[in-house]
Amino acid sequence: MDEERELLERLHRAVAAGEVSLELDLKHLSHIHSPVGSEAEANLFLYPGMVLAGLAWWQVDWRLAAGLAVATVAIYLTLGRAWSRRRLRARVQGKALGDLARWRKLWKWGGVSLVRQSVEGPVRCQGPQQSWHKFAAALG
C-alpha cells in the first residue's frame, strides 16, 4: 500500500513537472458514472438560461423566450462545454492524482493515458489495460 502511494506521488510529481502528460478521453470521463464526472457542473450553464427563458415566456413573449433558449444552448455548446472540460482536466490532475482510492477508480474506469517522451518516441500507458504501477516505477 505504501509502495503504491509512493508510485502515485512519483507520478503526480512527474505530471506537475511536465515529464509525463495525461491524455484524457473527455467524453468517456464526463459520463455520469465516471469517478471524476460532474453532471451538475456540466449543466450549470443551462439552468439559469432556461429559467430566464421560462420567465420571458410567462411574463413577456414566446419569441423572446425562444431566443433566450437558443442563446442558452449556444452558450452551453461553446463556453459551457469548454469550461466543463477544463474543470474535468483539473479534477483529474488535482484530485485523482492526489488520492490513491480515487486514482484506482479512475484508472479502472478508463479514459486516461499516461505519456512520456523517450529517445525511442512516446511511451504510452493506457488505463485500465496497462499497469500504471510499472509506468510510474520506470520514471526513476
> Which residues have a Cβ under 8 Å from the Cβ of 62 and sit 6 or more positions away?
none
Q: What is the tally of structural domains in the chain? A: 1
Q: Residue 45: pLDDT above 80?
A: no
Distances (CA, A) of 42 to 23, 58, 85, 92, 121: 20, 26, 9, 16, 36
Reduced 3-state DSSP string for 39-77: HHHHCCCHHHHHHHHHHHHHHCCHHHHHHHHHHHHHHHH
- List Cβ neighbours of 122 (8 Å cut-off, separation of 6 or more): 115, 116
Q: How confident is the model at residue 109 (pLDDT cuts 50, 70, 90)?
A: very high
Distance between CA atoms of residues 80 and 34, nearest Å: 19
88: alpha, beta or left? (left if phi > 0; alpha if psi -120 to 50): alpha
Considering the entire predicted model, what is its pTM? 0.76
**Which amino acid would we find at residue 15?**
V
Checking if the pLDDT of 108 tops 90, the result is yes
- The yes-or-no verdict on residue 42 having pLDDT over 70 is no
Question: How far is residue 33's CA from residue 14's CA, in Å, rounded to a whole number?
Answer: 28
**Domain extent for 12:** 2-137
Query: Among 6-15, 31-40, 118-127, where is mean pLDDT lowest?
Result: 31-40
Give the span between the Cα atoms of 90 and 102, in whole angstroms. Answer: 14
C-alpha cell of residue 20: 509525463
What's the pLDDT band for 132 if we cut at 50, 70, 90? very high
